[in-house]
Amino acid sequence: MKYEFYDPHPGTGGAIEPLPLPVKKVANKLSGQVLALNIALKRVQDVTDGKVFAKEVKVDSKIERVVLLNLKYGGRIHCWRVLRFREAK
């Protein structure tokens, strides 16, 4: 199945640590692309030592699909939403 990737993380915001720049660059490149989920996950995983995975989450009674990154940095484990995805039309 192919998915459209969109809404990359802005890189900064309320997080204690900003999204790592190599991950941000890949997220920006993936935005607007239509491809298999495993390919997108691999592209993000290739630039980080953290754990990259996809998850469906319920937000305000609707399901969202997101690519997440967990990374131990500065003695803490951080989690970022890297970008969103949906079934391609």
Q: Are 53 and 71 in contact (CB under 8 A)?
A: no
Looking at the structure of the chain, the number of domains it has is 1
Strands 2-6 and 62-73: unpaired
The residue range of the domain holding 48 is 2-87
pTM of the model: 0.91
Strands 51-59 and 2-6: unpaired
pLDDT, tens only, 20-77: 999 999 999 999 999 999 999 999 999 999 999 999 999 899 999 999 999 998 788 9
pLDDT, tens only, 57-73: 998 999 999 999 999 98
Q: Describe the chain by its helix, strand, coil percentages, rounded to 5.
A: 20, 45, 35
